[in-house]
Amino acid sequence: MGKTLRKLEVSSPVPADIDIANSVAPLHISDIAQELDLAPQHYDLYGKYKAKVLLSVIDELKGKEDGYYVVVGGITPTPLGEGKSTTTVGLCQALGAFLDKKVVTCLRQPSQGPTFGIKGGAAGGGYSQVIPMDEFNLHLTGDIHAITAANNLLAAAIDTRIFHESTQSDKALFNRLCPPNKEGKRTFNEVMLGRLQKLGISKSNPEDLTPTEAKQFARLDINPDSITWRRVMDVNDRFLRKISIGQGPEEKGMVRETGFDISVASEIMAVLALTTSLPDMRARLGKMVVGNSRGGDPITADDLGVGGALAVLMKDAINPTLMQTLEGTPVLVHAGPFANIAHGNSSIVADKIALKLVGPGGFVVTEAGFGADIGTEKFMNIKCRYSGLKPQCAVIVATIRALKMHGGGPDVVAGRPLDRAYVTENVALVEAGCINLARHIKNTKAYGVNVVVAVNMFSTDSEAELNAVRTAALSAGAFDAVICTHHAHGGKGAVDLGIAVQKACESVTQPLTFLYPLDISIKEKIEAIAKSYGASGVEYSEQAEKQIEMYSKQGFSGLPICMAKTQYSFSHNASEKGAPSGFVLPIRDVRGSIGAGFIYPLVGTMSTMPGLPTRPCFYDIDIDTETGRVIGLS
């Protein structure tokens, strides 16, 4: 990758992430773009260190062969996380800065919820980070703000429409929706013609509609109890989980209960991640279902007439943001869907652009959120279905501490010191926990990819423990298992991983195999995924049965399934470690992200608006008022 690369000077012990990030002067983003053969017309600058890469690049490079495609998942994590983002970045630094490969890292944009809450930022860590780290973790280029605005515009449109329908006659409602222009002529605009078509009305002149047709067109008759669309904001605010709206005197007593989710849980974020083009995004936004009519018909954003406005708010957000690693390798940051109720992967368009830019022999490395049972499964069965892309290699990140936990070690709790079991040698505990790793390897191999295990090494890990993991991984069918020290040494600490990944990509022979076909029932798909977790069966609540019946009746049963389950266990019970089996998976409810393109069953209780802990991360975050630098981000 040549001249842009930067040699890292590493210190021991490893300094704080923000101190490392601040110690390296980022290259101008135009230098990073140039290394990828991006001309100035291919991107828009957002300051010195960020740029939006335009989707036109995909069309311009249409005939060019793709590079290798690598997905990074993990074993079932502890609440501390096992370093998937750090490994993704370290692997790319190794490929680009040490193995002379053309490489692009594709990452999700972090939410401000965890940044200011419990977990901290998501730019990687140690000497394997994306910079500028503060910009990456905060506003970036405003995509999450655009999602927040679009989501809340739709929320406002829903309640306003119910209000106006409740206070107007059919004729008045129709006349206000289609007012005469200056010449006194009424017309339907594009989104209205779409609604007429949906209703089976072939007329295009408002004057030609019968009173019955005019009523059908104008009156959505939304059932307030069926509304699934909530408002969002990008901070953890538990007190907004359940609210009452409409209490102002002008709302004439139209009070209802609703709530806020965190912005990254919005379906609009999931749409952004799964879209393949601007026309596709516009169509998906319009198809988002917000509730049902009293007659049981799905009501969409386009029925409300707002789909085009949502697309306008999202027109810049559809372009991925170009950034860089500490060692000057390129990064595309785009989308950040919740990994439970959505699929937890960065965008299809970023991956598609990157694969063309690196070309044959190059590498695109993308990260899948949470353990491989959630992130990698959804990457394969949802993201790859919509993108048509096939990965050659899947990396599974493991740590000794997580394997010890799965082997029966004491609880790992964020914010509390690790138990002595995790910082002293105990090979038997590690070997017992490798049952979790083995199931992840088996499940991931079934997709037709080669699996490489990356053991993210900590200073307290012993050679015997590391050897035990390597032996267990190979016997479970991994292509290779590699010890990595990229957190302490940057790309240099992941060179062996880079070599293993390259060999794995070059030697893959099988086609991509999905876990289930799309043409089977919703229940059969749920049961196929549950089986991969180790479940012996599935139990559906009355509410889940009702929703499955409704979605099937409405014609949505052909969509893939996005299981909303705890990340801390293969099962629905977060305390069940290792590789539990024989349990019955309870499905509490089933919901749809119809515009994004999936059905999501709720396994147990899922919070879509996290809360702040007693001592949030924001205690440590401040600004150096002399230099303007951010301090304390982690």
Are 410 and 328 contained in the same domain? yes
Q: Do 98 and 184 reside in the same domain of the chain?
A: no
Q: Is residue 608 part of a domain?
A: no
Question: Which regions in the chain score pLDDT beneath 70?
Answer: 1-5, 119-121
Distances 418 to 80, 115, 459 between C-alpha atoms, Å? 10, 22, 14
Q: Verify that 50 and 121 share a domain, yes or no.
A: yes
The confidence score (pLDDT) of residue 519 equals 96
What pLDDT is attached to residue 457? Answer: 95
**Count of CB atoms situated within 10 Å of the CB of 512:** 16
Domain that holds residue 535: 522-602
Last residue of a domain, one of 253, 280, 311: 311
pLDDT in the model for residue 111:
84
Long-range (24+ apart) CB contacts under 8 A made by 7-16 are 7/327, 8/127, 8/326, 8/327, 8/490, 8/491, 8/492, 10/127, 10/488, 10/489, 10/490, 12/488, 14/126, 14/127, 14/487, 14/488, 16/634
- Domain shared by 149 and 243, yes or no: yes
Cβ atoms 418, 444 nearer than 8 A: no
For 536, list phi and psi in degrees, rounded to 5.
Answer: -90, -15
Among 260, 283, 311, which residue terminates a domain? 311
Note the Cα 40 to chain centre separation in Å.
29
Distance CA 221, CA 228 (A): 15
The answer to whether residue 12 sits within a structural domain is no
621 lies in a domain? no
Query: H/E element holding 367?
Result: strand 363-367
**CATH code of the domain containing 223:** 3.30.1510.10
Cα(108)–Cα(131) distance, integer angstroms:
14
CATH of the domain at 353: 3.40.50.300
- The answer to whether the pTM exceeds 0.85 is yes
**CATH value at residue 571:** 3.10.410.10
Whether residues 169 and 296 share a domain: the answer is yes
Residue 609 lies in a domain: no
Residues 105 and 217 in one domain: no
Residue 210 sits in the same domain as residue 225:
yes
Domain count for the chain: 3
Q: Are residues 133 and 149 in the same domain?
A: no
Residues 324, 297 share a domain: no
Short-list 342, 293, 296, 314, CA closest to 158: 293
For residue 426, is it within any domain?
Answer: yes
**Angle, CA of 530, 536 and 537, to the nearest 5°:** 65
With respect to residue 393, please indicate whether it lies within any of the assigned structural domains: yes
> For 284-331, what is each residue's pLDDT tens digit?
999 999 999 999 999 999 999 999 999 999 999 999 999 999 999 999
Q: Which of 457, 367, 344, 401 is nearest to 577 (CA)?
A: 401
Residue 558 lies in a domain: yes
d(CA 132, CA 114): 18
**Bridge partners for 575 per DSSP:** none
pLDDT at residue number 181: 87
Q: What is the pLDDT of residues 173-211, one digit of tens each?
A: 999 999 998 888 999 999 999 999 999 999 999 999 999
Do 205 and 73 fall into the same domain? no
Q: Is residue 395 in some structural domain?
A: yes
Residue reference for tokens 């943001």? 321
Contact by Cβ (8 Å): 337, 269: yes
Residues 300 and 339 in one domain: no
Boundary (domain end) residue, out of 475, 506, 537: 506
Mark whether 343 and 475 lie in a shared domain: yes
